[in-house]
Amino acid sequence: MIKYLFFQNNTVDASIYPNDSALIPASRLSDMEISADGTDLTLSFKSMLQGKGINTELVLSITADSGAEVMASIAEELAFGDSGFITVADEHNSEFIHADITAIETTLDGSFA
């Protein structure tokens, strides 16, 4: 089954950021890295532009020192989840794959790709 990871900002004004979400093939996830202070988790994705070398990174705010648990939740859902649509972080609907994800720091305005 092909799986996709879903992210959505909590955009106040849709006229400024009309494309405030991202759906990325899970197969493109190449790395997850916890920040030095333990409050951010960066998800890196291989280029979606036919190998042009432009990689995508999304930064999630997480509860301090919860990175390992958050990464384990994402990995477990990728490996064993039954759904092809995986909501990692949806600020607008307050839905997160793990309770320790608090926000998406990356603005999903189409420029992040």
The answer to whether residue 109 sits within a structural domain is no
The answer to whether residue 72 sits within a structural domain is yes
The answer to whether residue 112 sits within a structural domain is no
Distance between CA atoms of 39 and 103, rounded to whole angstroms? Answer: 11
The answer to whether residue 111 sits within a structural domain is no
- Structural domain count of the chain: 1
The answer to whether residue 113 sits within a structural domain is no
Q: Could you tell me if 62 and 69 are in contact, meaning their C-beta atoms sit under 8 angstroms apart?
A: no
pTM of the model: 0.86
pLDDT for res 18: 57
Question: What pLDDT, in 10s, does the model give residues 50-97?
Answer: 666 667 889 999 999 999 999 999 999 999 999 999 999 999 889 999
Going by pLDDT thresholds of 50, 70 and 90, the confidence category of residue 20 is confident
Helices and strands counted in the chain (H then E): 1, 8
DSSP 38-60: SSEEEEEE--SSTTSS--EEEEE
The answer to whether residue 61 sits within a structural domain is yes
pLDDT for res 54: 64
